[in-house]
Amino acid sequence: MKKDYWMILTLLSAVTLGGCADPSENSVEEPATSDSSVAVTAANDPAVPDTVPLPPIAEKRPHTVSAPGGDRVDPYYWMRDDTREDPEVIAWLEGENEYIEARLAHTETLQDTLVDELRGRIKEDDSSVPFESNGYFYYTRYEAGSEYPIYARRQGSMDGEEQIMLNVAEMAEGKDFFQIGNWAVSENGRHLAWLQDEVGRRQFKLMFKDLDTGEVIDTGLTGISSITWAADNQTLFYVANDPETLRSRFVRQYILGAENTAENLYDEDDASFYTGVSKTASGRFNFIYVGSTVSSEMRIFDSQNPELGFQVLFPRERDHEYIADHANGRWVIRSNWEAPNFRLMQAAEDQINDRDQWSDLIAHSEDNFIHNFNLFNEFVAVSERSDGLRRLRVLNFATGDSELIEFDEAAYAAYLSTNENPASQRLRYAYTSMTTPTSIFEIDVVNGDRELLKQQEIPSGFDSADYQTDRLWIEVRDGTMVPVSILHHVDTPLDGTAPLYQYAYGSYGSSSEPTFSTNRLSLVDRGFVFAIAHIRGGQEMGRTWYDQGKLLNKINTFSDFIDVTSGLVDRNLVDPDRVFAMGGSAGGLLMGAVANMAPDHYAGIIAHVPFVDVVTTMLDESIPLTTNEFDEWGNPMKPEFYDYMLSYSPYDNVSAQAYPAMLVTTGLWDSQVQYWEPAKWVARLRELKTDRNPLLLYTDMEAGHGGSSGRFERLERVAMEYAFVLDQAGMIGAD
């Protein structure tokens, strides 16, 4: 299915060490634990009840981590357990969970209230907008009260009889974690292939279902990351991960009804590249896509005759990233060849292998960054960014004219949605802003007629007029102007009295969009200003924005975040004593660096699945997903990068200073940021920090990088985070 096409890029960008996680969005004294400190008890600190235990104190076991740049001693290295079975490690993590439960016990009523609020904004019996493919209308729906979706379809029209393909709630019964990954239906509509994860480690199992008979085939194959059908309706191509590093590496095939082997059709042996498979819009070609941080390559093969083998579309070159799609006899290519912000090019079928024959459809621009595109027979729809905003453009092949789809708000994000039929003249897209619930539209590209197909419903009620969003620009220390998106209730004055909750990511070129979130309303309705800092390391302002926030420029990411905080405070918009910062995954690295560099700026810091042990992890190529990262962070085997990374690595830079209140989360089965990174970080913070602010670590013992798999289960973690923030802001009981 064509919907898999850009999923390849999403997958390759998300499965990284710092992962592109999208986290859900009164000081009680903390026992100091350095050797010279005195443990806090109810006897010497009435703020800590007798019922609250002391936090578990991690034993120090010196371990030498060697590198060309020098040896380092890591006293908490022993917390690494690849099996997740070491009783001492498990006991320590469970002890931390017991500690956080006790320390937040006084917020239980608030947490229950928050869960009810959060759930009340979810339409429980919701359904996605159906899309048509090969005579069937496919959609996902939820039943009231169910944690998991139902994947279904109807033949001919939505008036046809519903056929349930996967009832995930039934499949998940009795399991602590369950998730459906990629799925695809053969062109004749008979066979469904899907990937499922029962651990949370994103090492998916390959499954099949005969949609005519209901027969299910469990292949027993695990560690699968992407799938695509050939046109014969019997052959499925899949990517198998390296069993040690978990890097998507091998392309293999599974033929229904045949005796299958694990023979490799392709092996990407360059450890800096990830691998995916998909199909072009025309359906004529299947392809293998391999990508690293700075380059990519495609191999195509005839979907009708896959036995003919693969053809390299254009050979890889360092610093050349491209991806191509095919429809109506034309190849269209997104390429950064001599175009840092990318350009859109086209080539005839017999000229695709000769880059000199590629011609511009949309030339390179210093002001516009091209994200991706959907290819149709008669036009191409392009997702681009200008002035930090995500917008859409339609280019007509016959006339060569291109037009922007116009939107009214000053800060928004518009995305390409599911567009399965290249012969269509209707484009489906999504629109959202921080005050506009996500809306799915279709536009007729010939006459411009626009139709709203669905807007996200908030059952408990929502009126956009109650909220205001603004776009600010803050000058940071090197003179760069950084955009900031803010949201607040119209009754919240921007006069220096409101608490601030500031979020950012800032890595991998992943941009933080000013999109709608029902969860954050629980803070905004209580008087918080919510801010997204569009710091360097993302691509909000184009490719240069990314380049200025990675490798030997990484410090810009951290200083931008700190300077945005200072700018909001200096403009007297928020309360300087109630500033909270949140980030996850690589954004958790950001939180760790900020905590070391400017702890006095923040009343509280929340770090979800944080990538904080940068140097030790990057030195060890056996750790999953490390080898692809050298062009993002640098190779610490080289002294220049080793010294630079060591200068900001949060774990290595914990010092004897006062830190803000901190909440840290992780998942035992995380394959992207291993649980021991945040665990070691918390242990070192407990050892060295001089304050008595809360330091709390929560480990989800049943999940991985993305947290709990159930849609309502996730709300408990959000409620815990918000209760922590409201408690530290002195707002327990705030309406």
Q: Using alpha carbons only, what angle is made at residue 410 by residues 533 and 497, rounded to the nearest 5 degrees?
A: 50
> Which DSSP string do the residues of 194-227 spell out, in sequence order?
EEEESSSSS-BEEEEEETTT--EEE----SEEEE
- To the nearest 10 degrees (0 to 180), the angle between helices 586-597 and 555-570 is 60
**Residue among 325, 560, 670, 700 flagged as catalytic:** 670
CB 300 within 8 A of CB 282: no
Neighbours of 6 (CB within 10 A): 18
Tell me, what DSSP letter sits at residue 410? S
670 catalytic? Reply is yes
What does the DSSP assignment read for 529-570?
EEEEE--BTB-TT-HHHHHTTSGGGTHHHHHHHHHHHHHHHH
Rounded to the nearest angstrom, the gap between the alpha carbon of residue 425 and the centroid of all alpha carbons in its chain is 32
Starting at the earlier edge strand, list the strands of the sheet with 224-229: 224-229, 235-241, 248-255, 266-267
CA gap 239, 227 in Å, rounded: 7
Is residue 419 within 8 A of residue 381, CB to CB? The reply is yes
Core vs surface per residue 462-488: b (16+ CB within 10 A) or e: beeeebbbbbbebebeeebebbbbbbb
CA angle 412, 417, 421 (to 5 degrees): 150
Distance, in Å, from the CA atom of 501 to the CA atom of 533, rounded to the nearest integer, reads 11
DSSP for 503-536 reads E----TT--------STTHHHHTTTPEEEEE--B
Return the closest-CA partner of residue 97 out of 698, 679, 668: 698
Question: What span, in angstroms and rounded, lies between the C-alpha atoms of 234 and 189?
Answer: 11
Q: Check the CA dihedral 420-426-432-435 and report its sign.
A: negative
Is there a contact between 7 and 275 (Cβ–Cβ < 8 Å)?
no
Residue 187's SS3 state is coil
The active-site residue out of 326, 488, 705, 727 is 705
Collapsing DSSP to helix, strand or coil, 6 comes out as helix
Q: Could you give the CA distance from residue 32 to residue 164 in angstroms, rounded to a whole number?
A: 56
Q: Tokens for 77?
A: 């290295």
Decide: 142 and 154 in contact? Cβ < 8 Å.
Answer: no
Q: How far apart are CA 346 and CA 355, in angstroms?
A: 10
Q: Of these residues, 226, 278, 511, 585, which one is catalytic?
A: 585
C-alpha–C-alpha distance, residues 375 and 333, integer Å: 10
45 is catalytic: no
Question: Is residue 401 within 8 Å of 447, Cβ to Cβ?
Answer: no
Identify the three-state secondary structure at position 291. strand
Tokens describing residue 408? 């009214």
Cβ-based burial of 229 (10 A; exposed 0-12, middle 13-18, buried ≥19): buried
Known active-site residue 402? no
Contacts of 43 (CB under 8 A, 6+ apart): none
**Rounded distance between C-alpha atoms, residue 345 and residue 357, angstroms:** 10
Which of 327, 381, 329, 338 lies closest to 360 in space, CA to CA?
A: 338
Nearest residue to 626 via CA among 227, 203, 293: 293
| Residues classed as catalytic | 585, 670, 705
